Amino acid sequence: MVGPIYIIAVALGIAFIMGLFGKSLKNFTGWAMLAGLGFMTYVSGQWLLEFLNNNRAVETIYTAGFKPPYSINLQMGSYEALLTFLINVVGLLGGIYLYKDLKKTGTNAMVVFLVFIMSLNVVVMTRDMFNLFVFLEVGSIATAGLILLDKNGNALQAGMKYLIATGIIAGILLIGTIFAYYFAGSLNIDDILAANLGAAKATVIAVFLIYVSILLELKPFPANGWGIDVYTAANPGIGALVSAASATAMFYVLYKLLPLGGAEWLNYIAVIGGITFVGSNLMGTKQNNPNRLLGYSSIGQIGLLTMILGLSDILGEKLVFVAFGILISHYAAKAGLFWLSGIIKAKDIKGWAALRKSPFLLFLFGTFVFALIGFPPFPSFFGKWELIMTLATGGHWAWMTVILVGSFIEGIYLFRWLGYAIKLDHEELPDFKIEWNKFFPVWVMAIVLYAVGVYVTPMVEGGSFINYIPLMFVLFLFAIDFLPVYIKNTVSIGGIIWYMFHIYPVLEGDLLRLIFAGIFLIGGVLTLMAGYSKKGTRKGFYPMAMMMFAGLIGIIEASTLLEFFFSWELMTAGSYFLIIRGKRSMPHGYSYMLFSIAGAYAILFGFGLAFASGFDTSLAALGSISLLPTLAYTLLAVGFMTKTASLGLHIWLPGAHGEAESDVSPMVSAILLKAGVFGLMILFLYMDRASTGATNLLYVLGWVGALTTLMGNMSAAFQEDAKRLLAYSSVAQLGYILFAISIMTQLGWLAGFTYTINHFMFKAVLFLVIGGIVVKLGTHNMYEMGGMIKKMPFSFVAVLISIIVIGGIPPLSGFAGKWLFYNAILEKGWYFQGAIIFFAGIIAFLYLYKLIHSVFLGQLKDNHRNMKEISAWILIPSYVMIIGIMIFSAFPQYILKPIGNMIAPYFSSEALSWEGTKALTSFGYWDGTTVMIVVGTAFVLLLGWLVALSSKAKKIEQFNIVFAAERPHRPETTHVSYNIYAGYQKALGFLITPFVTAFWDAMSNLVLEVANWLRRIYSGSMQNYALHVVLFIVVFYLIALGGL
């Protein structure tokens, strides 16, 4: 074992030797620096391994051979080993990354770099207050020097600001240190902690001074203008180190000194951290400069970590896990992002669109963003989970809210940025060079994130159940991403089919889950089949699609809250990438993500309440929520409704589904939306329905469902875009489902199931077929289509059948749904809502007519004369679905009866009974099989008659019509379906004025305005920044000790 003291000795020795040979042997100094950093990494890594494997005692290093407090001692325990290792790794990688820049500046810069990393090591290890001060100063001076690696005026200014601010802070720390010595009689940190200085009125001032200076070093809002400027102006390679290494070291200093003042101080620390977390992220929303944005994000994350330390009493033994999970994610992601920024060299985050040129870098970027927000499988996900669960256990709702709100705000700008990188239209993508020495460190950080994420999974309660097999499959698909579509498609379909066999025995007997598993998996296979019509490699599609399906099936399989949430987030991430693939999908993917994150956090909050109610980690905990049950139910429902796109939360859907690729639309519409339905069903089944909260919630949700339907159908009727029409139709259909299950009777649920199954099938068909046609015709606008019936007869039939289902016209299963639905409404007595639904149902006919008429009937357009039927790969799955529809229509009893039996125990009365093929309610009966036979016979007879007559029909050439003398200025306006419902729009359009969109727009403007107003405190004046620092000290003093 190499003693930790050699970290200092060797680093300094090398630094001095570099000075000796520097001028003459330039290459030597570069390698010497890397060797020094490598050595430091080795020493700390070896200690880390030792602590991990052998569980040995903490090693104390006595310098000068005397015992503390008379000499300085360092400590190497497991935390020190871990943190110095992290610091040294990022130092080594940063050294590799900056190798050329450092070399250009000369040996002196390398010396400064090496000493910088060394000083952070000592800061972590030292147990002596004044030694801490000295090496903090070493670090500050080195930072001030490294800022000037990029020699520009901004860096100079930032460096000066940094020097001024840290100068004041150092002075305060010095006074605090000497008074701590005066009161405690020792400079040794352990002695000072043992002296309990927080207890006495006089001595507490020393505690305050030490706390305030350490907190200021962590750049608390608003006294952090100097820190942000450093991130902005310095070379991103330096920004990475300041963000990852310095912050890590400072964080540990705070941890070391945490017990200094006692419990009362923890509150202040938590509050300061919380304000920093939210404030800094809020201001980040207005940033366009990537480095500055990262600066805000860094400060925000450190604020979160500070807050976590402040909450350490509450977190208890979970503290270490939570802090580690969030710290390591911040560390790796921030370093990686800064390094990426140095590769791209864009002055504006829009310039990151250049990343598209390198899919690997884009992958890394996505990894870092998702890790920062806390998505699975990254450690921050587990950290946040444990954090929320533990806080909920203690009943700290306010802190939970702060954390979730702050994280959401962080998502606002990170996902905007990611969206730019993936999709932004940019005339000129700036060129960037990828040098291996810059690329390699970024990669390492991404691997760290994944590896640590998987490594910590079993440490979370219930984490060991998480199924990583689907994720391995995703990874495998990444690995074969270079292969052509048909291979990957086959592999993906094969994977899903294999999983079906795998999961069937698991779910057998659990019909609810089996149905949804069927929707997700069968739907997955069928929609994927359409992928055979695509050519090329379709980069990135399959891993993401499989990630979504992995998440979906994970939700089904989940037996614990954690598994459920893990899969939920996984599904969100995968679907986000699928949605944003569409041509004009950037804003829609963005809003989808924001709603999803907000929804996920609502769910997380609800899960927290559920867990805290009985310390039950299984999903059954939802059934015994005793803490704020109404709030919990509401949050969970809202969370699930972000996926079902209910009124108010729907604005992401039309764009997201409408603009998605032709086979993605059915995936996200027919399949993905059902995840929300599944969540709602689980919630409704578990929750305590008798409670007033639940009853009221269900009543409200019923209304929401009804209004969603109305709004969805009306909006659909006024669409000119075929896919958006379908998207709004989905909104409406999900409204029916929400309404139906909110009724909470057996009939209602049966209706809900029927609608769910129906919508799954017909929406898949419609989106597949219409999507195929849209691609084929090259336009979304229905008024540019027409007469396709002859060109695409199979498509026509498919769409026709689907429309019959939506319309609820006998004999197809849509009617079964409607019949059950109205029975349920009558039984429940929700007449008024029922009326709205009924009215909405009429409006549905308007858009259905519009859809089939303007696409298939009417005049064939000149430019479409040579069109052929859409790809068989689209038609095959569509017709499989149609067969499904037919079977379900003819023999509904085979599905509805078991469902009825399954849900019967949950409901007081059995409202639906079966007599053979006949379904009976108190209001009447319906026999799907008979109806099918009768209508089918009639249809065949009529068809035969028509065919017989058709020989006599007179053929009329197209355009054999008499035009008025003029040709209209815009020919499409003469299309029959152009603005077809202008009259209705005049009469009823006010109902769908985009209030909701306007509301969310106003909300986002409000956030941005607040951010803009808030950031004016960063006036750029270094003196003002110094003033902020002093102001922070004084205000903190007055609040904390003003009463003395």
Partner 1 sequence: MIKKILIIGLLAGVGLIFFDLFNAYQGSEVLGKTGRYYAENGADEVGAANLVTAVIVTYRGLDTLGEVTILFLTAAIISFVLKFRREDFIPNRPVRITSELLDSASQVIVPVIFMVGIYIFINGHLTPGGGFQGGAVIASGVLLMIMANPNFGISHKVIAKVESISGIAFVLIGIMGIFLAGGFLDNRLLGLGNLGELFSAGVIPIIYTFIGLKVGAELSNILGTISHAQNEKN
Partner 2 sequence: MEYIIISTGFALALLGLWGILSQKNLIKIILGFTIFNTGINIVMVSIGYVRGKAAPILDVIKPSEAADKIVDPLPQALVLTAIVIGLGVTALMLVYALNLHREKNSLDINSFKDLKW
Q: List interacting residues with partner 1 (CB under 8 A).
A: 3, 5-6, 8-9, 12-13, 15-17, 19-20, 22-23, 61-66, 69-72, 105-106, 108-109, 111-112, 115, 119, 122, 130-131, 134-135, 137-138, 141-142, 144-145, 148, 151, 175, 179, 181-183, 185-187, 202-203, 205, 208-209, 1027, 1030-1031, 1033-1035, 1037-1038, 1041, 1044
Task: Rank residues 230 and 544 by Cβ distance to partner 2 and give the closer one.
Answer: 230
With CB cut-offs between 5 and 8 Å by kind, which of partner 2, partner 1, none does residue 286 bind?
A: partner 2
Tell me the closest approach of the beta carbon of residue 227 to partner 2, in angstroms.
Answer: 12
Tell me the closest approach of the beta carbon of residue 618 to partner 1, in angstroms.
Answer: 53
With CB cut-offs between 5 and 8 Å by kind, which of partner 2, partner 1, none does residue 217 bind?
A: none
Q: Please list, in sequence order, all residues whose beta carbon lies within 8 angstroms of the beta carbon of residue 964, skipping any fewer than 6 positions away.
A: none
- In whole angstroms, give the CA distance from residue 817 to residue 821: 6
Q: Show the site string, 191-230: x = touches partner 2 by CB under 8 A, - = not.
A: --------------------------------------x-
Of 43, 253, 26, 24, give the one whose Cα is nearest residue 136.
253
- Decide if 629 contacts 692 (C-beta within 8 A): no
DSSP at 980 = T
Task: Rank residues 184 and 890 by Cβ distance to partner 2 and give the closer one.
Answer: 184
Of 876, 871, 851, give the one whose Cα is nearest residue 764.
876
With CB cut-offs between 5 and 8 Å by kind, which of partner 2, partner 1, none does residue 332 bind?
A: none
- In whole angstroms, give the CA distance from residue 256 to residue 896: 63
Q: Which of 58, 100, 104, 154 binds partner 2 (CB under 8 A)?
A: 154
Tell me the closest approach of the beta carbon of residue 135 to partner 1, in angstroms.
Answer: 5
Tell me the closest approach of the beta carbon of residue 224 to partner 2, in angstroms.
Answer: 13
With CB cut-offs between 5 and 8 Å by kind, which of partner 1, partner 2, none does residue 154 bind?
A: partner 2
Cα-Cα-Cα-Cα dihedral sign, residues 622, 625, 631, 633: positive
- Decide if 924 contacts 886 (C-beta within 8 A): no
Tell me the closest approach of the beta carbon of residue 409 to partner 2, in angstroms.
Answer: 17
Q: Please list, in sequence order, all residues whose beta carbon lies within 8 angstroms of the beta carbon of residue 341, skipping any fewer than 6 positions away.
A: 236, 239, 290, 291, 294
Burial of 776 (0-12, 13-18, 19+ CB in 10 A): buried
| Structure-block tokens of residue 409 | 């705000």
Q: Show the site string, 267-296: x = touches partner 2 by CB under 8 A, - = not.
A: -------------------x----------
Tell me the closest approach of the beta carbon of residue 242 to partner 1, in angstroms.
Answer: 16
Beta carbons within 10 angstroms of residue 151's beta carbon: 9
Tell me the closest approach of the beta carbon of residue 197 to partner 1, in angstroms.
Answer: 11
| Structure-block tokens of residue 743 | 């009724």
Q: Is 150 in the site for partner 2 (CB under 8 A)?
A: no
- Decide if 420 contacts 353 (C-beta within 8 A): yes
SS3 state at 1027: helix
- CA angle 123–129–133, rounded 5-degree value: 55
Peptide bond connecting 220 to the previous residue in cis, omega within 30 degrees of 0 = no
| Structure-block tokens of residue 704 | 């929401």
DSSP at 911 = -
Q: Is 179 in the site for partner 2 (CB under 8 A)?
A: yes
The residue assigned the tokens 């802090």 is 323
Tell me the closest approach of the beta carbon of residue 1037 to partner 1, in angstroms.
Answer: 6
Q: Is 174 in the site for partner 2 (CB under 8 A)?
A: yes
Task: Rank residues 924 and 1020 by Cβ distance to partner 2 and give the closer one.
Answer: 1020
Task: Rank residues 135 and 564 by Cβ distance to partner 2 and give the closer one.
Answer: 135
Q: Is 1026 in the site for partner 2 (CB under 8 A)?
A: yes
Which DSSP string do the residues of 316-376 spell out, in sequence order?
GGGHHHHHHHHHHHHHHHHHHHHHHHHHH--SSGGGGGGGGG-HHHHHHHHHHHHHHHT-T
Give the binding-site size for partner 2 (rule: CB under 8 A). Answer: 41
Q: Is 234 in the site for partner 2 (CB under 8 A)?
A: no
Task: Rank residues 835 and 1038 by Cβ distance to partner 2 and give the closer one.
Answer: 1038
Peptide bond connecting 968 to the previous residue in cis, omega within 30 degrees of 0 = no
Task: Rank residues 909 and 1021 by Cβ distance to partner 2 and give the closer one.
Answer: 1021
With CB cut-offs between 5 and 8 Å by kind, which of partner 1, partner 2, none does residue 879 bind?
A: none
Q: Is 1010 in the site for partner 2 (CB under 8 A)?
A: no
Q: Which residues of 310-335 are buried (b: 16+ CB within 10 A; e: fewer)?
A: bbbebbeebbebbbbbbbbbbbbbbb
Q: How far is CA 985 from the centre of its chain?
A: 37
Q: Which of 12, 25, 34, 163 binds partner 2 (CB under 8 A)?
A: 163
Q: Which of 55, 1016, 1043, 1044 binds partner 2 (CB under 8 A)?
A: 1016
Task: Rank residues 144 and 215 by Cβ distance to partner 2 and give the closer one.
Answer: 144
- In whole angstroms, give the CA distance from residue 328 to residue 368: 12
Cα-Cα-Cα-Cα dihedral sign, residues 1014, 1019, 1025, 1027: negative
With CB cut-offs between 5 and 8 Å by kind, which of partner 1, partner 2, none does residue 112 bind?
A: partner 1
Task: Rank residues 209 and 824 by Cβ distance to partner 1 and give the closer one.
Answer: 209
SS3 state at 53: helix
Cα-Cα-Cα-Cα dihedral sign, residues 1027, 1030, 1035, 1038: negative
Task: Rank residues 175 and 459 by Cβ distance to partner 2 and give the closer one.
Answer: 175
With CB cut-offs between 5 and 8 Å by kind, which of partner 2, partner 1, none does residue 174 bind?
A: partner 2
With CB cut-offs between 5 and 8 Å by kind, which of partner 2, partner 1, none does residue 142 bind?
A: partner 1
DSSP at 62 = E
Cα-Cα-Cα-Cα dihedral sign, residues 704, 708, 709, 710: positive
Q: Is 748 in the site for partner 2 (CB under 8 A)?
A: no
Q: Which residues bind to partner 2, rule: CB under 8 A? A: 130, 134, 137, 141, 144-145, 153-154, 156-160, 163-164, 167-168, 170-171, 174-175, 178-179, 181-182, 187, 229, 232-233, 286, 1015-1016, 1018-1023, 1026-1027, 1030
